[in-house]
Amino acid sequence: GAGVSQSPSNKVTEKGKDVELRCDPISGHTALYWYRQSLGQGLEFLIYFQGNSAPDKSGLPSDRFSAERTGGSVSTLTIQRTQQEDSAVYLCASSLVLHIRGETQYFGPGTRLLVL
Amino acid sequence: ILNVEQSPQSLHVQEGDSTNFTCSFPSSNFYALHWYRWETAKSPEALFVMTLNGDEKKKGRISATLNTKEGYSYLYIKGSQPEDSATYLCALGYNFNKFYFGSGTKLNVKP
């Protein structure tokens, strides 16, 4: 079956513009996660969804970041008024159920965002 | 923010060498530890999930151990091959809704 897909694979935008990143999880996976990796940094957890609900948004870097998930499937991560420090690889992952005791997460290929 | 440390940051070995690297983490309220392999331009790939103190997992030439009391895990690669070149990430689950990654060990295996 298909894995996690993300689009676009690369995005170059100008500072101040809004961008929308999309994630299609593996069919049937109820949990979905967003991460980012800035240059030279480790993976940073941003937010997770259980179904369409995101109970904890504290990992989002600022109020310019928002995420939603509809129909328990596709998720979008929106960054408003992008800044240069938003440049990073944004990874999405999904798992069959919410990670509690070791549920494996399957990652997408990422979206490479460059803010000029 | 919990501090998950991986060492070394990078490693260069010759084909055929065996190698190992470390993931250190706070041991309180530990849930699970994951090892991922991340090749350039690809998605991170899950290698192992370990939850119990003393767990040992093996997949081909790669194996891992877990010590939750002292807060560390070792990843071993026996007889490294060029295709093993990748960044190896460990990730820790504490609260069920958060997941903390180390910054990875970048392995380069020279033919």
Instruction: Read off the pLDDT of residues A73-92 as tens digits, 9 standing for 90 and up.
Output: 999 999 999 999 999 999 99
Q: Is the pLDDT of residue A99 over 80?
A: no
Is A102 within 8 Å of B93 when comparing Cβ atoms? yes
* Each residue's pLDDT tens digit, B83-102: 999 999 999 887 656 778 89
- What does the alpha-carbon distance between residue B48 and residue B62 come to, in Å, rounded to a whole number? 10
Nearest residue to A85 (alpha-carbon basis) of A57, A113, A46, A44: A113
Is B32 within 8 Å of A56 when comparing Cβ atoms? no
> What is the maximum alpha-carbon separation in chain A?
41
Contacts of B69 (CB under 8 A, 6+ apart): B27, B53
pLDDT bracket for residue A25 (50, 70, 90) = very high
Nearest CA in chain B to A3: B43
Q: Minimal Cα–Cα distance from B91 to chain A, Å?
A: 9
Q: Is the pLDDT of residue A57 over 60?
A: yes
Q: Is the pLDDT of residue A58 over 90?
A: no
Q: At which residue do the structure tokens 């944004």 appear? A: A90
* Cross-strand partners of A68: A76
Report cis status (omega within 30 of 0) of the bond before B8: yes
pLDDT bracket for residue A71 (50, 70, 90) = confident
Q: How many CB atoms lie within 10 A of CB B39?
A: 13
- Residue A26, pLDDT score: 94
- Residue B89, pLDDT score: 94
Picking from B4, B35, B99, B106 by the largest number of A CB atoms within 10 A of its own CB, the best residue to mutate is: B99
Q: What percent of chain A has pLDDT over 70?
A: 95
Nearest CA in chain A to B47: A104
Question: What single letter denotes the amino acid at residue B40?
Answer: T
Residue B12 near residue B108 (C-beta atoms within 8 A): yes
Range 68-107 of A in CB contact (< 8 A) with B = 91, 93, 98-107
Contacts of A47 (CB under 8 A, 6+ apart): A33, A34, A54, A56, A57, A59, A60, A67, A77
Contacts of A63 (CB under 8 A, 6+ apart): none
Q: At which residue do the structure tokens 């997992």 appear? A: B57
Determine the distance from the C-alpha atom of residue A54 to the mean position of all C-alpha atoms in its chain, rounded to a whole number: 12
- Residue A101, pLDDT score: 57
- Residue B95, pLDDT score: 65
Is A56 within 8 Å of B96 when comparing Cβ atoms? no
Contacts of B51 (CB under 8 A, 6+ apart): A101, A102, B31, B32, B33
- Residue B14, pLDDT score: 97
- Residue B21, pLDDT score: 94
pLDDT, mean of residues A107-115: 95
pLDDT, mean of residues A23-34: 93
Q: How many CB atoms lie within 10 A of CB B19?
A: 19
Q: Is the pLDDT of residue A1 over 60?
A: no
Chain A positions touching B93 (Cβ under 8 A) are: 99-102
Report cis status (omega within 30 of 0) of the bond before A55: no
Count A/B contacts: CB-CB distance under 8 Å.
Answer: 67
Which contiguous run of DSSP H or E holds residue A36? strand A31-37
Query: Would you give per-residue pLDDT tens digits along chain B (111 residues)?
Result: 678 899 999 999 999 999 999 999 988 777 889 999 999 888 899 999 998 899 999 999 999 999 999 999 999 999 999 999 999 999 988 765 677 889 899 999 999
Is A45 within 8 Å of B99 when comparing Cβ atoms? yes
The single-letter DSSP state of residue B13 is E
